[in-house]
Chain A
Amino acid sequence: MAAVAPPGVVPTPKPSVQKPRRASAALWAAAIAVTLPGAAPILHLLWTVVKPGGFDAGGISATRLLQLFGSTTLLVGSVTATALAAGTATAWLTSRTDIAGRGVWSTLVSLPLVIPSFVGALAMLGSSGNGGLMSLALSAIGLPRLPVFSGFWAAWGALSLWNFSYVHLVTTPALRRMDPSLEEAARGLGATRWRTLRDVVLPQLRPALLGSSLLVALYVISDFGAVSLLRYETFTRAIYTQFRGRLDVTPALFLSGILVAGALVLVLVEQRNRGKASLAARRPARPPERIPLRGARRVAAYGFLTTVVIGGLVLPIVTLGWWAMRGLSLGNVFDPVWAEAARSTGVALAAAAATVAAALPLAILTVRHPSRPAGVLESISWSTYSLPHLAVGLGFLTLSIRFVPAVYQTVVLLIIAYMAMFLPQALSATQAGLRQVGPHLEDASRGLGVGALATLRRVTVPLVWRSLLAGGGLVFLTVMKELPATLLLRPTGFETLAVRIWSASSELFYTQASVAALVLIGISAVPLYLLVTRDR
């Protein structure tokens, strides 16, 4: 995630070997405490599945399951590859070439993150098909109407468009901070630009690329809204339909367990391959050279960026706006969504703050005092991140109703659930920040007689607050868009913007849905814009 090196920090030349210090009992206690909410839904799932009769796929045959697994893998693989390619390309174009308006392009290309994928899918449907906006536009100039966007290609397009920005946001700072002398050395030895890119630049980008592609892959695995609207059958969709039909949630949880196991494989693969290359901490002595693009290449660059921005940002917003206007012109009424907006914003802010605070002890533990048990705690939080939100919601529902009924259907439980689900987002941002600052400043503080907690307050936090903010911003965006767990756990009457969009669109009140969607996009754009421009 975009994390910034604090000014004036000269990073320590690392000693050749460094044994991590043992962490205090208090730090362990804090780290375990914040991992507990994440563990709760996992434990609930395991407990349900481990009972006799727990291995229940709800009547779905093994062949069908394999088929669904296959279709999911196909989607995940293709979207991740596309997002990697597109995100790296936009990052490279906006930070390494001499095209005009780089800063503006970079911001525009990051903005699609504000659009929830189910809203994007909705807009996609609304612009295609016989009645869609694009079809009408095309038929107005005499071209044939578009078929409805649906199936694999639509799902691939939608999920790629509204996720590639993750890759862009993580890769851009990594590109900026690379030491140009390595590339210059390669060029001096006769390597072409392409070969330099392949042999020198990409390997240095590895942690950034792997980390962001994991985020994308996990998101695609767990997505339900977009694939169901676009009618592409995935494993996750099967999980949701199992929940919708049955009164017994065992099949939904069993299938969720399979999904998490698959997701964990991805997490492990990423962790293994992250490599020893730490994210470049030092601002290079001189900025990397700007590669000039001329002629056809320049045109192609602008064309590519424009296509991406139109597809990911302009088209959905215009479609939603058109729907809203069309509905208004037909006299459809809609309720102002101020209350929903306030609720969404409030709970997202609170969840972001709670999650960032919770991530701090775990980040410190895993970065300053790495150990196997610390890695296990981190894996737990990633497991919950990979769990379909429905399963998380069910876990908290069951556990709270059984053990802490006072907290059931309250905002507090909702925030705890969000924290459990999205901890890894805050965690990886905070980890990146801690890695950049390095332990020597904290050592200096300790050596001057200042205790651990005071050092945290006086030295660590002031230096990594930008990373904390980045993590918090990401959590805010994700909570704004969240739907399945919110539906299950929200207090009765606590409708958020996402809930409003869902209920309105499922009953075909598209005017209402569009208005709410536009408000959601508007609110989400603010922190995203701040995050993106702050990094300059």
Chain B
Amino acid sequence: MTEPDPTVDAAIRMRGITMSYGSVQALTGVDLDVAGGHLMTLLGPSGSGKTTALRLIAGFDRPDAGSIELGGETMVGPGAFVPPDRRRVGMVFQDYALFPHLTVARNVGYGVAKRERPQRVREILELVGLSGKAARLPHELSGGEQQRVALARALAPDPRVILLDEPFSNLDAALRARVRNEVAEILRRSGTTAIFVTHDQEEALSLSDTVAVMHDGGIVQTGTPTEIYHHPADRWVAAFLGDADFLPGRADDGSVTTSVGVFPSPHRGSVTVMIRPESVAVRPTPDGTAIVTRREFFGHDQLVTIGLPDGSVVRARLGPAPFLRPGDHVDITVDEAATFPGVGAH
């Protein structure tokens, strides 16, 4: 089997995908590009259409309009539809969908041609670190192990693309981070193009090369994790990706002045200024103009809510020190802020 050329064969291209169920519009005019060998995450709340998009790529559903190409070959288009068993797309389901009546080895080897099966199963089990469990049945494994079997099974037939639908949501929180990294590591090692689907922003930001944020059936922003975090396209994305506070301001001549400082802004006129709690520094001082109204302590850090003299509210994420209490006077400085045109909720 020739190694797939990551730059061409594994690329995914979706154009103009529209899909509705009855009266519900699941996807409207979605365009998406995924480069070969990349890990892309579709991030969005439930109902945003991300699982639908995944199922369309896999071939389990057919869009009302639009086209999908994998590695340059048309899978879905006007008059064309390749069924799921011929797309060479691997899928890891949210509940793993392991065949309960087959052993780990038979599950993993399920999609592999008979002749290559023993060899390939051995390789893949080693890759995911489950070599000793080949003869077990799925219900005899832990959640994390089942996860890895699901991944192994999807990888074994050497797919062009692997799709993962909220793969970590069934794991305990403690396990999640560790398994996440392991899976990302495995995928990088195998060099397979992968699309994750999740509603967990932490997951999306930590794992992916690229993130596509989805909202109400459309993609609202695509970019690297850093880009979308620090420069969200609009207020909704900003709020979805992490904690943020918003202040109104007026932009003029490349900058906007607010009660907490002056920031660059490419816009003109009324703007909304977004401040992330981690960009806020706090200095307790008896004659500070800002007042602490609330403090949430998390052990390794704290989130402090601060009321400003003009009535606006800003939160600051600090290390465990200093020890602040509601009512303390502080001075705050904001390192950076993003701006969006317009005032009010987007």
- Determine whether A and B are in direct contact in the complex, meaning some CB atoms lie less than 8 angstroms apart: yes
Q: How far is the CB of A26 from chain B (nearest CB, A)?
A: 12
- Whether B85 pairs with A446 at a CB distance below 8 angstroms is yes
- Known contacts A450-B110, A462-B101, A8 near B139 by CB under 8 Å: yes
- Known contacts A6-B101, A17-B22, A17-B26, A446 near B84 by CB under 8 Å: yes
- Whether A449 pairs with B86 at a CB distance below 8 angstroms is yes
Which residues of A lie under 8 Å from residue B173 when comparing CB positions? none
Binds A, one of B36-44, B88-96, B291-299: B88-96
* B51 touches A (CB below 8 Å): yes
- Whether B26 pairs with A22 at a CB distance below 8 angstroms is no
Q: How far is the CB of A369 from chain B (nearest CB, A)?
A: 12
Which residue of the partner chain, among B51, B89, B100, contacts A9 with CB atoms under 8 Å? B100
Which residues of A lie under 8 Å from residue B154 when comparing CB positions? 447-448
- Known contacts A7-B139, A459-B99, A443 near B21 by CB under 8 Å: no
- Whether B95 pairs with A449 at a CB distance below 8 angstroms is no
- Whether A22 pairs with B22 at a CB distance below 8 angstroms is no
Size of the chain B interface, CB-CB below 8 angstroms = 36
Per the bound structure, the CA–CA distance linking A303 and B137 in Å amounts to 46
- Whether A441 pairs with B47 at a CB distance below 8 angstroms is no
With both beta carbons as reference points, the residue of chain A lying nearest to B86 in the complex is identified as: A449
What sequence of 0s and 1s flags, for each residue 441-468 of chain A, a beta carbon within 8 Å of any chain B beta carbon? 1011111111110000011001100000
* B60 touches A (CB below 8 Å): yes
Q: How far is the CB of B273 from chain A (nearest CB, A)?
A: 36
Which residues of A lie under 8 Å from residue B182 when comparing CB positions? none
* B123 touches A (CB below 8 Å): no
Which residue of the partner chain, among B22, B88, B97, B138, contacts A449 with CB atoms under 8 Å? B88
With both beta carbons as reference points, the residue of chain A lying nearest to B24 in the complex is identified as: A17
* A294 touches B (CB below 8 Å): no
With both beta carbons as reference points, the residue of chain A lying nearest to B81 in the complex is identified as: A22
- Whether A448 pairs with B111 at a CB distance below 8 angstroms is yes
* A12 touches B (CB below 8 Å): yes
- Whether B99 pairs with A21 at a CB distance below 8 angstroms is no
* B227 touches A (CB below 8 Å): no
Per the bound structure, the CA–CA distance linking A470 and B325 in Å amounts to 68
Which residues of B lie under 8 Å from residue A326 when comparing CB positions? none
Which residues of B lie under 8 Å from residue A447 when comparing CB positions? 58-60, 84-85, 89-91, 111, 154
* A19 touches B (CB below 8 Å): yes
- Whether B95 pairs with A13 at a CB distance below 8 angstroms is yes
Which residue of the partner chain, among A8, A18, A445, contacts B137 with CB atoms under 8 Å? A8
- Whether B95 pairs with A16 at a CB distance below 8 angstroms is no
- Whether B46 pairs with A16 at a CB distance below 8 angstroms is yes
Which residue of the partner chain, among B46, B97, B157, contacts A443 with CB atoms under 8 Å? B97
Which residues of A lie under 8 Å from residue B96 when comparing CB positions? 10
Which residues of A lie under 8 Å from residue B157 when comparing CB positions? 448-449
* A15 touches B (CB below 8 Å): yes
Which residues of B lie under 8 Å from residue A445 when comparing CB positions? 99, 110
B31-86, CB < 8 A from A: 46-47, 51, 58-62, 83-86
What sequence of 0s and 1s flags, for each residue 309-349 of chain A, a beta carbon within 8 Å of any chain B beta carbon? 00000000000000000000000000000000000000000
With both beta carbons as reference points, the residue of chain B lying nearest to A450 in the complex is identified as: B85
* B317 touches A (CB below 8 Å): no
* B153 touches A (CB below 8 Å): yes
Per the bound structure, the CA–CA distance linking A19 and B138 in Å amounts to 29
* A440 touches B (CB below 8 Å): yes
Which residues of A lie under 8 Å from residue B59 when comparing CB positions? 446-447
Which residues of A lie under 8 Å from residue B139 when comparing CB positions? 7-8
Which residue of the partner chain, among B61, B89, B110, B138, contacts A21 with CB atoms under 8 Å? B61
Per the bound structure, the CA–CA distance linking A78 and B24 in Å amounts to 45
Q: How far is the CB of B131 from chain A (nearest CB, A)?
A: 21
Per the bound structure, the CA–CA distance linking A443 and B94 in Å amounts to 13
Per the bound structure, the CA–CA distance linking A450 and B93 in Å amounts to 17
What sequence of 0s and 1s flags, for each residue 353-382 of chain A, a beta carbon within 8 Å of any chain B beta carbon? 000000000000000000000000000000
Per the bound structure, the CA–CA distance linking A16 and B58 in Å amounts to 19
| Residue picked from A16, A444, A452, most chain B C-beta under 10 Å | A444
With both beta carbons as reference points, the residue of chain A lying nearest to B138 in the complex is identified as: A8
Per the bound structure, the CA–CA distance linking A17 and B22 in Å amounts to 9
- Whether B47 pairs with A16 at a CB distance below 8 angstroms is yes
Per the bound structure, the CA–CA distance linking A450 and B84 in Å amounts to 9
Which residues of B lie under 8 Å from residue A441 when comparing CB positions? 97, 99
- Whether B153 pairs with A448 at a CB distance below 8 angstroms is yes
Q: How far is the CB of B160 from chain A (nearest CB, A)?
A: 12
Q: How far is the CB of A107 from chain B (nearest CB, A)?
A: 27
Which residues of A lie under 8 Å from residue B91 when comparing CB positions? 443-444, 447
With both beta carbons as reference points, the residue of chain A lying nearest to B169 in the complex is identified as: A13
Residues of A within 8 A of B (CB): 6-13, 15-19, 21-22, 440-441, 443-452, 458-459, 462-463
Given contacts A10-B96, A440-B93, 6 further A-B contacts (CB under 8 A): A6-B100, A8-B139, A12-B93, A17-B26, A446-B85, A449-B88
Residues of B within 8 A of A (CB): 21-22, 24, 26, 46-47, 51, 58-62, 83-86, 88-91, 93-97, 99-101, 110-111, 137-139, 153-154, 157
Can you give 17 contacting A-B residue pairs, CB < 8 Å?
A6-B101, A9-B100, A10-B95, A12-B94, A17-B21, A19-B61, A440-B93, A441-B99, A443-B97, A444-B97, A447-B59, A447-B84, A447-B85, A448-B90, A458-B110, A459-B99, A462-B101
